[in-house]
Amino acid sequence: MIDFAKKYRELILKPIDGFSNISDNENAYVFYTKKLASDSLMGIPDDAFSQTVSFLQNYVEKAYEVRVTVVGRKVFACKIDSQVMQEDQGKIDWRQGYDYNIKHESIQLPKEIENKCIAFLKEMGLNFGAFDYIVTPENKYVFLECNPNGQWLWIELLTGQQISKAIADALENCEGCT
């Protein structure tokens, strides 16, 4: 872990389940993705990291983030304007921006990214996927993950994209049935 951290100036630490909830009788605490300086991990024994389950990634500067929902061959892209937010209001983890009206808007993906998402699902034998990307200030797309059971309704509600119709159509037409 420390060897990985030494390669980068800043890191992202993300709970493996997306975000963690801890509660007691009076309070609930949510742990979102955190940005940290890699040197803050120096001096911590490697075996300390074996006691936790988290993703550790190099930090990538963002212009904005994109959630891509793919249903069969239908692609829905949503720009999440996270970088106009404060760090604890969605800039690092856009899910914190829900309470601060983080802006979502439909966008057209570059055809290359669209094709890669469709090809990824085909290779994995899936008909649905929710992809997360960072778009850098240089307009490069950086793939973060594909969740085969990712959330999508909030995007439809905020942007008007017809994701639920695409899912219903896919089920009705039995796309991908064998």
Residues 48 and 70 in one domain: no
Q: Is 130 among the domain residues?
A: yes
Higher-scoring residue by pLDDT: 12, 123: 123
80: Cβ contacts below 8 Å, ≥ 6 apart: 64, 65, 66, 67, 94, 97, 102, 103, 104
How many Å is the maximal CA-CA distance in the chain? Answer: 57
Q: Is 102 among the domain residues?
A: yes
Cα distances (angstroms) measured from residue 76 to each of 54, 79, 93, 173: 28, 10, 21, 19
The predicted-structure confidence for 8-34, as pLDDT tens digits, reads as follows: 888 877 766 544 555 566 666 566 777
* pLDDT for the residue numbered 19: 47
In sequence order, what DSSP letters do the residues of 38-96 get, joined into one string? Answer: GGGGTTS-HHHHTT--EEEEE----SEEEEEEEETTEEEEEEE-GGGS-GGGTTSSGGG
Residues 53 and 72 in one domain: no
Residues 24 and 79 in one domain: no
Chain centre to alpha carbon of residue 87: 16
Domain that holds residue 18: 2-58
Residues 131 and 167 in one domain: yes
Q: Is 177 among the domain residues?
A: no
Q: For residue 162, what is the domain's CATH number? A: 3.30.470.20
Residues 54 and 70 in one domain: no
Residues 73 and 160 in one domain: yes
CA atoms within a 13 Å half-sphere pointing along the CA-CB vector of 37: 3
Residues 129 and 54 in one domain: no
* pLDDT for the residue numbered 47: 72
> How many domains does the chain contain in total?
2
Residues 97 and 42 in one domain: no
CB 81 within 8 A of CB 134: no
- The alpha carbon dihedral of 37, 141, 136, 32 has a sign of negative
The predicted-structure confidence for 61-119, as pLDDT tens digits, reads as follows: 999 999 999 999 999 999 999 888 777 777 877 777 777 788 999 999 999 999 999 99
Question: Final residue of a domain: which of 16, 38, 58?
Answer: 58
Q: Which of 30, 38, 45 is nearest to 12 (CA)?
A: 38
State how far the Cα of 32 lies from the Cα of 54, in Å rounded to an integer: 11
Residues 69 and 37 in one domain: no
Q: Is 104 among the domain residues?
A: yes
